[in-house]
Structure 1
Amino acid sequence: MASDSVALARTTPARRLLLLIVPALVVGMASALVLLAVSLLAEQLQDVLWKTLPDALSIGRYSSPWMIVMLTATGLAVGLVVRTVHGHAGPDPATTGLVDPPLPPDVIPGLLVVTVLGLAGGVSLGPESPITAANIALAFWLGRRAAPDNTAGLWIALASAGTIGALFGTPVAAALIVAESFTTGGGPAALWDRLFAPLAAGAAGALTMTLLAHPSFDLSLPPYPGAHWGDLLSSTVIASAGAVLGLAAVYAVPHAHRAFRALRHPVPMLTAGGLLLGLLGALGGHLTLFKGLDEVKELSADPSGWSAGQFAAMAVVKTAALVIATTCGFRGGRIFPSVFVGVALGMCAHALVDTVPLALAVPSAVLGVLLAVTRQGWLSLFTAAVLVSDSGVLPLLCVASLPAWLLVTGRPQMQLHADGTPLK
Structure 2
Amino acid sequence: MTEPASEGFLEKNRVRTLAALSVPAVLVGVVSALILFGLDELSYLLQELLWDVLPHAAGIDPDGGWWVFGMLTATGLAVGLIVRYLPGHAGPDSAATEFGGPALPLKVVPTLAAAAVIGLAGGVSLGPENPVIAINTAVLTALLTRLFSRVPDRLIIGLTVAGTVGALFGTPVAAALLFTGMAGSMAGKAALFDKLFLPLVAAGAGAATMILLGGTLLKFSLPDAGGDTDLWDVLAGLVIAPVAAALGLAGVFAFRWAHRLFHRLANPLLFTTLGGALLGLLGVLGGPLTLFKGATESGELLRSTGESFGYLLFLAVVKLAALVVASAAGFRGGRIFPALFAGVAFGLAAAALLPDVPVSVTVSTAVLGLVLAVARDGWLALFVAVIITGDATVTALLCLAVLPAWLVVTNAPHWLADDGGDGARPRGTA
Q: Does 1:102 align with 2:64?
A: no
Q: What is the distance in 2 between the residues matched to 1:66 and 1:374?
A: 32
Q: Does 1:205 align with 2:223?
A: no
The equivalent residue for 2:93 is 92
**Shift in Å at residue 232 of structure 1?**
1.1
Residue 52 and residue 218 in structure 1: after superposition, are their counterparts in 2 closer, same or farther (change >3 A)?
closer
Q: What is the distance in 1 between the residues matched to 2:69 and 2:345?
A: 23
The equivalent residue for 1:133 is 134
The equivalent residue for 1:5 is none
Output one character per residue of 1:276-296: Cα deviation in whole Å (capped at 9) or x when no partner: 000001101110000000000
What code does the residue aligned with 1:71 have? L
What code does the residue aligned with 2:268 have? P
Residue 106 and residue 181 in structure 1: after superposition, are their counterparts in 2 closer, same or farther (change >3 A)?
farther
Residue 414 and residue 178 in structure 1: after superposition, are their counterparts in 2 closer, same or farther (change >3 A)?
same
The equivalent residue for 1:36 is 37
**Shift in Å at residue 254 of structure 1?**
1.7
Residue 243 and residue 11 in structure 1: after superposition, are their counterparts in 2 closer, same or farther (change >3 A)?
closer
SS in 2 for 1:411: coil
What code does the residue aligned with 2:102 have? P
CA RMSD of aligned residues (A): 1.8
Identity %: 49
**Shift in Å at residue 244 of structure 1?**
0.5
Q: Which has the higher contact order (CA 8 A, sep 6+)?
A: 2
The equivalent residue for 2:7 is none
Query: Is the Cα–Cα contact under 8 Å of residues 123 and 291 in structure 1 kept in the other structure?
Result: yes
What code does the residue aligned with 1:28 have? G
The equivalent residue for 2:4 is none
Q: What is the distance in 2 between the residues matched to 1:181 and 1:49?
A: 41
**Shift in Å at residue 84 of structure 1?**
1.6
The equivalent residue for 2:264 is 262
2:244 to 229, 242, 248: 242
The equivalent residue for 1:26 is 27
Q: Does 1:328 align with 2:329?
A: yes
**Shift in Å at residue 184 of structure 1?**
4.3
Query: Is the Cα–Cα contact under 8 Å of residues 219 and 388 in structure 1 kept in the other structure?
Result: no
Q: What is the distance in 2 between the residues matched to 1:99 and 1:354?
A: 42
Residue 186 and residue 328 in structure 1: after superposition, are their counterparts in 2 closer, same or farther (change >3 A)?
same
Query: Is the Cα–Cα contact under 8 Å of residues 169 and 209 in structure 1 kept in the other structure?
Result: yes
**Shift in Å at residue 21 of structure 1?**
0.8
Query: Is the Cα–Cα contact under 8 Å of residues 217 and 295 in structure 2 kept in the other structure?
Result: no
The equivalent residue for 2:5 is none
The equivalent residue for 2:73 is 72
The equivalent residue for 2:342 is 341
After TM superposition, the score normalised by the length of structure 1 is 0.94
Query: Is the Cα–Cα contact under 8 Å of residues 237 and 401 in structure 2 kept in the other structure?
Result: yes
What code does the residue aligned with 1:18 have? A
Residue 141 and residue 361 in structure 1: after superposition, are their counterparts in 2 closer, same or farther (change >3 A)?
same
**Shift in Å at residue 419 of structure 1?**
4.7
Q: What is the distance in 1 between the residues matched to 2:44 and 2:417?
A: 30
**Shift in Å at residue 47 of structure 1?**
0.2
What is the total number of aligned residue pairs between the two structures?
Answer: 415
The equivalent residue for 1:227 is 229
Query: Is the Cα–Cα contact under 8 Å of residues 184 and 191 in structure 1 kept in the other structure?
Result: no
What code does the residue aligned with 1:276 have? L
SS in 2 for 1:282: helix
Query: Is the Cα–Cα contact under 8 Å of residues 42 and 117 in structure 2 kept in the other structure?
Result: yes
The equivalent residue for 2:164 is 163
The equivalent residue for 1:4 is none
Output one character per residue of 1:47-70: Cα deviation in whole Å (capped at 9) or x when no partner: 000000110111111111110000
**Shift in Å at residue 216 of structure 1?**
6.2
Output one character per residue of 1:232-286: Cα deviation in whole Å (capped at 9) or x when no partner: 1100111011100110011111210111112110111100000000000110111
SS in 1 for 2:89: helix
Query: Is the Cα–Cα contact under 8 Å of residues 339 and 369 in structure 1 kept in the other structure?
Result: yes
Q: What is the distance in 2 between the residues matched to 1:217 and 1:393?
A: 19
Q: What is the distance in 1 between the residues matched to 2:183 and 2:138?
A: 17
Output one character per residue of 1:353-381: Cα deviation in whole Å (capped at 9) or x when no partner: 11111010000000001111111111100
Q: What is the distance in 2 between the residues matched to 1:107 and 1:179?
A: 31
SS in 2 for 1:89: coil
The equivalent residue for 2:281 is 279
Query: Is the Cα–Cα contact under 8 Å of residues 28 and 201 in structure 1 kept in the other structure?
Result: yes
The equivalent residue for 1:303 is 305
Q: What is the distance in 2 between the residues matched to 1:25 and 1:84?
A: 37
Q: What is the distance in 2 between the residues matched to 1:203 and 1:271?
A: 39
Moved more, 344-353 or 89-98: 89-98
Q: Where does the alignment leave 5 or more consecutive residues of structure 1 unmatched? A: 1-8
What code does the residue aligned with 1:370 have? V
What code does the residue aligned with 2:199 have? P
Q: What is the distance in 2 between the residues matched to 1:188 and 1:359?
A: 41
Output one character per residue of 1:115-154: Cα deviation in whole Å (capped at 9) or x when no partner: 0000000000000110011111111122222222221211
Q: Where does the alignment leave 5 or more consecutive residues of structure 2 unmatched? A: 1-9
Query: Is the Cα–Cα contact under 8 Å of residues 180 and 376 in structure 1 kept in the other structure?
Result: no
Q: What is the distance in 1 between the residues matched to 2:384 and 2:303?
A: 19
Q: What is the distance in 2 between the residues matched to 1:200 and 1:248?
A: 37
Output one character per residue of 1:138-176: Cα deviation in whole Å (capped at 9) or x when no partner: 111222222222212110111111111000000111222
What code does the residue aligned with 2:55 have? P
Output one character per residue of 1:371-417: Cα deviation in whole Å (capped at 9) or x when no partner: 11111111100100111121000111110100000000021000123
**Shift in Å at residue 219 of structure 1?**
3.3
**Shift in Å at residue 218 of structure 1?**
5.8
Residue 236 and residue 10 in structure 1: after superposition, are their counterparts in 2 closer, same or farther (change >3 A)?
closer
**Shift in Å at residue 76 of structure 1?**
0.3
Residue 139 and residue 303 in structure 1: after superposition, are their counterparts in 2 closer, same or farther (change >3 A)?
same
Query: Mapping of 1:407-422 within 5 angstroms?
Result: 407-419=408-420
Output one character per residue of 1:204-235: Cα deviation in whole Å (capped at 9) or x when no partner: 00000001112263634332032111111100
More helix per residue: 1
Query: Mapping of 1:118-157 within 5 angstroms?
Result: 118-157=119-158
After TM superposition, the score normalised by the length of structure 2 is 0.93
